[in-house]
Structure 1
Amino acid sequence: MPGLKEQDLYLDPSIRDWVLVPITLIMVLVGLLRHYVTLLLNSAPKKQPKAAVREQRMLGRSQLLRASSPQSPLPPAQYRAFSAATATALTSGEYIKQKTAAEKEVSVGPFDPSQMDTMMDGMKKQAVMMVPNMLIMQYINVFFSGYILIKLPFPLTLGAKSLFARDLAMPDLSVRWVSALSWYFLNLFGLNGVFKLILGQDNAAVDTRDMTATGMLAGAGGAQPMAGPAGVPDMDRVFKSEAENLSLSDGLYSWVGHGIEDRVLKRFNRA
């Protein structure tokens, strides 16, 4: 049985000039605008009280000590002294910020009102992501529905037809032809590398960008902090858990300077 004949379609150059290139340019400009609008919407960090900063620094100190234990630059005696002092400070509750009366009332409520700013920032960023995409997709659906824009230079399987010919009611059309709506989706997910090249790795133009921040309150292995009823971390439990993790890391301790003389001699073939 002879193979299927290659389909030859002749596209008007005006489609390239007035549809293909403008859609790509609009997607790039919208991504740049989204990035800078998101930067403007970012709220300035609030000034933390001294007790809260002290609490976080103590937890961060313990995590640094624990993370560096397999190849620690601290000599054994100094590491054990630091580890013992840190574990004692974690279990004693000396560095835990004392809650005010209002914070104690919040801790038994359904949610923490202090997180309202964070929630609003997240909603504003989601709106910046969603609204332009909805407008552009509706614009393409109204004005360029059914347009064939480009032919891909490589073969594809029939399973990709739903991706590249979303609004083309032509079942016999080759999979390599791309419709206007499909070109929009290809740009939506395919311009991430361009935005990283223009704006850097940490940019707000990419829709899949992770907007969650666990901070320094995460436990061992990246676990989420233990939270109370209002979603506020229970620092008593977090500190006790960190003290246990620190005691376990003591068994993994190894001084980076152990056997340094033999390693230096071996490096210079003097051993």
Structure 2
Amino acid sequence: MAGSMYESQDLYLDPSIKYWVLFPIMIVMFLVGILRHNITTILSVNQSLSTGEVKESLAVKYGRLFIANKNYIPESTFKLRKNYWYDAYNSGKYLNDPNATANGDMLDPANMESTMTGMKKAFANLIPQYVLMSWVSYFFAGFVIIKLPFYLPTRFKEMFQRGIDTQNLDISWVSSLSWYFFNLFGLGGIFSLILGSNNSAGSAKDIAPQMQMAPNQKDRFNKLHKSLAEEVKIVEHSWALDDIEDQILIKYGKKSPVNNDKKNK
């Protein structure tokens, strides 16, 4: 009954709504996203890693590369590198502070600067969303601005008609506040095309951003190095290039795989 009642409805919208409500909301949200991306980029420019932090990070990278490619180096070289990396990780050779704790020193300038940068980025995402939502709710409250060209189930009514206190309105009609949320979700693809996939222009996750204290980088690398020491300790070697000549000849049809059975005998 409800579906048939909704389907029989028809509304005639003022054409000026398209120019004074629909397009302004979309354009303003797009421009605010560009502005937010630029602000976040400016805040990230001053973040630089020290030589010690780069050394900690590269040690983790090289250790993981060694574990991933262990079977492509000779066994003698494997044993030398295994002993070297195990001793280096276990002794904290590449750590800035091998005795760093989980709590860290909150008065450390590096920690304070990282925390303040994280808070600035969180506010750069949080404030524009609240301002835009308040702007749409105040100036465009109660507007029905567009009709979707397809049928929707009744459960979508609350999502698509926010700000409209009408019980029997066809679900395909969209309110101005719902149009704001559509753009919040939908403009992400446009931002990715213009600014790249790692842009900070905004997306649905900015509806409820979270401000977190900056993690203790020293303690994090300490845990990573200890974990890699255990991985390097138990890793085993299996030469991946055994009979590589025969494998290549078989691959390109220059040798029959039957010869391998005779060799095994």
TM-score band (shorter)? 0.7 to 0.9
- Helix, strand or coil: the match of 2:242? coil
The alignment status of 1:80 with 2:74, answered yes or no, reads no
CA deviation vs aligned residue, 1:164-198 (integer Å, no higher than 9, x gap)? 00111111001110000000011012211111111
Question: Please, which of 16, 21, 24 is the counterpart of residue 23 of structure 2?
Answer: 21
In the alignment, structure 2 segments of 5+ residues that lack a partner are 257-265
1:211–1:81 Cα change, 3 Å: farther
Is the 8 Å Cα contact of residues 105 and 111 (structure 2) preserved in structure 1?
Answer: no
The alignment status of 1:65 with 2:66, answered yes or no, reads yes
Partner of 1:239: 225
* Superposition deviation, residue 266 in structure 1: 1.7
Partner of 1:222: none
* Superposition deviation, residue 144 in structure 1: 0.9
Question: Share of identical aligned residues, percent?
Answer: 35
| CA distance in 1: counterparts of 2:68 and 2:171, whole angstroms | 51
- Helix, strand or coil: the match of 1:233? helix
The alignment status of 1:35 with 2:37, answered yes or no, reads yes
Partner of 1:258: 242
In the alignment, structure 1 segments of 5+ residues that lack a partner are 213-226
1:118–1:179 Cα change, 3 Å: same
Which structure dedicates a bigger proportion of its chain to helix? Answer: 2
| CA distance in 2: counterparts of 1:112 and 1:90, whole angstroms | 28
| CA distance in 2: counterparts of 1:131 and 1:31, whole angstroms | 12
Q: How does 1:201-240 map to 2 (within 5 A)?
A: 201-207=197-203, 208=205, 232-233=218-219, 238-240=224-226
CA deviation vs aligned residue, 1:14-58 (integer Å, no higher than 9, x gap)? 001111011111111111111111111224234525x55444433
Partner of 2:130: 134
Q: What amino acid is the match of 1:121?
A: T
1:237–1:194 Cα change, 3 Å: closer
- Helix, strand or coil: the match of 2:72? coil
- Helix, strand or coil: the match of 1:63? helix
Relative to the length of structure 2, the TM-score reads 0.80
May I ask how many residue pairs the two structures share in their alignment? 246
Is the 8 Å Cα contact of residues 166 and 182 (structure 1) preserved in structure 2?
Answer: yes
Relative to the length of structure 1, the TM-score reads 0.79
Q: What amino acid is the match of 2:248?
A: V
